[in-house]
Chain A
């Protein structure tokens, strides 16, 4: 009994004496970092003076401040007004947080232009600045239906109602979200929902009867940039995707699938709208319905895309603009 008891005491003493000191470790961020005085140790710097995003180049920005602080880095295109915004909370700002591949946070997209870079700290007056020149903007991978830069493709067809103030045409000005051109759709039609439409036929591209797209509808994304006018919320844009399932070169609405993506334009300014092709429903008068064909999204059998501008006939003048209609794979467009 006594022996076991003594062994227990010795064992206990050994156990309690083996803790490794943790004098140099702390849990969490340093309070001194969080609460100390703010000051700039190294100012904002760009890793390059100029960058060619089209060639796959990237650029990053660095700075160092005295305490861990929330920050906001804003790159603004001096010509386009495009914005790239990056945020974080740290005392060292480096490539791991600020690597830029030319993408934009708020449309329009960047162009070949000088960009101003601003580093600000919410709640603090300090603003650090730098500049970088975009030699060539980012090129997006995907199948481009149109960016309207080269005019109206003769392979497309269109129908425009004979309403009042009709203005269906490609326009060029600095407000385009990509390049210089976009398609304007405006007018008043007080007897029909349809204001006007364009048919993007597959034959207008490579001559084939279907668009050259992947057969995996879960990996294919349809993207379009849409502009909402100030004070107008009556515009609807309907994209219809006709599938030539029997590969006979024509679409039969009674026996083949027609999928439709309806966009209600209730915002102001340019906005990127993206949707996975397999998520696009079949609609009849705006309500989900059963497709008339095989009911499967055959993205490699799209032979025509119809872009319809709709508005309630009693709602009066309707207007919207569209640009950069593109299919991408592996994810939505990151412009």
Chain B
């Protein structure tokens, strides 16, 4: 069979390698934050231990050298210089290497990247699910989320890893249009020469595009320990193999489609055959699009086995075992201040960029239905999304509803059921009134309800949570906008949280009782010097009463200067 080899340009900006003929370019960003906060808590006795007011900030620059030694090679080295305010002349200045990679095209066929790679495959193999921020960010909340994503390299659900990746494609004259091949290998951890083996994570996929109406693919990823790299012989492995497909039929006014992913996983340690876990999953949905009406609808079914394990798709962004860096303790007794939504939006150090082979801790109040995203194990049920966007782009609304349940009970044969509704409305007033100045109102809501019914009171579970955000961006004069946000998170009820051993097996259950609310009101001004440079001044007040005995209140004034170049 005759076919033509050609390069697919899946990763961004490759075509710009030498577009301006420059051998060396400077890329990067700069940011400065100045903040003043006021912390108060309600206690029986006045808190005389915690410092109430705090002022701080930093300036940082990420300076990257992008070198193109030839038309098909790009080298990027980026260093970060960060200076905490008050620490000039050497003290408090940090130098870090932020990015380092080489990428290029070998023989006009194979595209490769070595060093830092941002990678993803499919939602069940290698995917960075955002399972803790359930509502869309706008205005001041978006400034914070953008900074978080920049700091953690979260973009388009990729994970930042260190390793190598390559891809190429084959194009065919008939039967099928093309075949795409992707592969990667990353190093998860080095050996300590005694009991920890060298651990790698690798895999790839093949996508066959038959036509614009039918695509099929195969994915495989594996976490594996390299034997003989340490004294231990207990090598861990987690392999996930999946198939993806997408098929559609299109008519003038309507389009039908079906797509999904199915596969299986195997997880085991070489010296623990009894602990081997194997299971499979199915996730598929039917799609209908009324093209002229701007309405899209889908109805899906998912069935993720109780023993389905996929390290690359079930690792969480937030490490809930971390402690706060900001007002980590309060009251005279210096009790620990637990992670709140306020912290999740403000502190990038609470996030991780590593793939975790264990089962990570989660907050059931935030997301109990799908704590590990779509790839959450032990879930089955249906889901559906209805969305509408008018042609004038005045209104865009979407709502997704999940009706899920466990497959295998935890500590009981009775199964938990999960109702999860999330919706988002974007109202573009400027498009409605045909103003040049941008006026956006955004409303996002997420509601979860977990229930487990039982005749035994200690098995009964009822947990309800609501996350809501209303944000406005009102451009009052060219490039100057008023920002406003009202973010609310509440949760009430009980859960039994599994306590797991090192192997991930449940060994006990901890009762979890919650009845609290967090309210964050923020407002400010943002001035755009250009598309990638802005100055913003925000004031926010965050009230948190999840600790009913010691509720607290944080007021904060922040000044951001953000630049990308």
- Partner-B contacts on A (CB < 8 A): 1-2, 4-5, 7-9, 11-12, 15-16, 18-19, 22-32, 34-35
Contact = CB atoms under 8 A, between A and B. Distances in A.
Nearest to B213: A1
Contacts of B506: 27-29
A5 B378 contact: no
B303 A19 contact: yes
A25 to B, nearest CB: 5
B508 interface: yes
Given A1-B213, A4-B247, A15-B282, A32 B412 contact: yes
Contacts of B459: 31-32
Interface in B211-239: 211, 213-214
Contact of A35 (B213, B249, B303, B458): B458
B404 to A, nearest CB: 14
B408 interface: yes
Dominant secondary structure at the B interface: strand
A31 B306 contact: no
B380 A19 contact: yes
Centre residue among A7, A9, A28 by max chain B CB count within 10 A: A28
A31 B458 contact: yes
B413 interface: yes
Size category of the B interface is: 35 or more
A31 B508 CA distance: 9
Nearest to A9: B258
Given A23-B413, A34-B508, A16 B284 contact: yes
A331 to B, nearest CB: 18
Contact of A4 (B214, B282, B286, B378): B214
B301 interface: yes
A9 B498 CA distance: 37
Given A24-B413, A27-B409, 13 more contacts: A4-B247, A5-B256, A7-B247, A15-B282, A19-B303, A19-B380, A22-B407, A22-B408, A26-B409, A27-B411, A28-B508, A29-B509, A35-B458
A13 to B, nearest CB: 9
A116 B458 CA distance: 37
A243 B98 CA distance: 56
B39 interface: no
Contacts of A18: 282
A7 B458 CA distance: 47
B207 interface: no
A28 B506 CA distance: 4
Nearest to B284: A12
Contacts of B256: 5
Nearest to B245: A8
Nearest to B305: A19
Contacts of A2: 249
Contacts of B409: 25-27
Contact of A16 (B211, B282, B456, B458): B282
